[in-house]
Every structure is written in C-alpha cells, then in structure tokens.
Chain A
C-alpha cells in the first residue's frame, strides 16, 4: 500500500528540455507539497497546495509550474531545464496544515 508515490523515480535529461514529475497520494489528505533537496542534502519547500489551491510559492522560478487536477494529485512541470535544477524532488502530503507530513520516495533529476 503506497501512501505517497512519485513517478518517475529517476529522470535524466538535457538542458533546455521540458519535463514533468507526477505525485499521487492515497491517504485522503487535503494538503500536498513539493520540496527540493539539493546536492548538499538541504531540503526546502517549493510549493504547497490545499484542496487544489496554491498556498505557498517559495521564490521558485516560474519555469516550475505545479498542477493539481484533484486533491490526490500534485504534478510538477519544469520548463527549459537548467543544470542547477539537478536535485531530488520530494512530494509530501498531510491531512491538514500543521499535521504530520508523509513523503514520497523522491525523484532524482539529473540535467546534463
């Protein structure tokens, strides 16, 4: 029973390409998040959605666009990929704000 799943697990692509990462949670949670973990393992929030509504957009370039088709899904689309976008991207969800966040396994993005 996977609680928070992400696809793909690994993504290798060329600079300038556009790619998407998908996230799905089967926990019935209202809130979903995207985090970025850089090469130094530091985790930082990118976006959060509550009931399909964008709540947080943390100084993320507008090349990154989250899309939430329904409460169970929060996808991340990245345009014009750059070398600095190489990182691990984690999706997470929580029942409501302020409760335990459950993380997906991560998507390892490498931009060449």
Chain B
C-alpha cells in the first residue's frame, strides 16, 4: 500500500532558526514529489516539485531533497520567519495511467516571534 508519513506532526521554533521537515513514503517507485503549504482556512500553495531523477530543488529560503532509495524527502527552511507558520504537506505522485497525488499527514509549523 502506498503511504506517505510526515514527522513531526507539529513543530514550534523561535524566529530565525533553521528547520527540517521530514516526509517518508513506502513505495520508492515515485514519479515526483511535491511540497505544499496550507494556511488556516485556505487552499494549498505549491512550494517545490522534485522529479524522480532529481536530488534536490531550491526556492529562496526553501530547499527540498529527495532520496528515493530510502523513501525520504526533507524540506529545509532557512532563517525561519513568523510568516512561515502554516501546515506543510508533502505529496507523492506515482505517475502511470492514473496520476494522482498521495498526501502525507502534514506538519503544523509555528514560528514564534
């Protein structure tokens, strides 16, 4: 069964800290992996997409890595800010004829000013 798990479920850090969010998936035959951000009462915003052939992607203070062999991805946030407070979701796309995203359980991040 294809499952995606995120650890920790919740994280609170002081402003300015660097932090890492973890995502693990049971089936390593992925097509790509996406990281999303969800603010309370809002939709999802795509942050980064890593193709299965890539090892990492960077956007500003965000860096996502992918290790297919171990079934893991990490989202690194540098110099965290209160505005980074949100729920972060990773989603795995296994491609094929029925392309669909399988979402993780999410990490609720609070950055304290």
Contact = CB atoms under 8 A, between A and B. Distances in A.
A99 B91 CA distance: 12
A interface majority secondary structure? strand
Which secondary structure dominates where chain B touches chain A?
A: strand
Contact of B103 (A4, A31, A44, A55): A44
A105 B31 contact: no
B45 A55 contact: no
Given A44-B103, A97-B99, A98-B93, A103 B87 contact: no
A98 B32 contact: yes
A41 B93 contact: no
A43 B43 contact: no
A41 B49 CA distance: 21
B80 to A, nearest CB: 21
Contacts of A100: 34, 46, 49
Interface residues of B, number: 24
A105 B95 CA distance: 25
Interface residues of A, number: 24
B69 interface: no
Interface in A21-57: 31, 33, 41-45, 48, 55-56
Given A100-B46, A100-B49, A105-B43, A42 B98 contact: no
Nearest to B32: A98
Counting from the closest, the 9 A-B pairs by CB-CB distance are: A97-B99, A103-B44, A43-B103, A103-B43, A105-B43, A45-B100, A100-B46, A100-B49, A56-B98
15 contacts: A31-B99, A41-B87, A41-B105, A45-B100, A48-B98, A56-B99, A56-B100, A58-B100, A98-B95, A100-B34, A101-B34, A101-B101, A103-B44, A103-B46, A104-B43
Interface of B: 31-32, 34, 36, 42-46, 49, 87, 89, 91, 93, 95, 97-103, 105-106
Given A43-B89, A43-B91, A97-B99, 19 more contacts: A41-B106, A42-B103, A43-B103, A44-B103, A45-B102, A55-B98, A56-B99, A58-B100, A90-B43, A97-B95, A98-B32, A100-B49, A101-B34, A101-B101, A102-B46, A103-B46, A104-B43, A105-B42, A106-B43
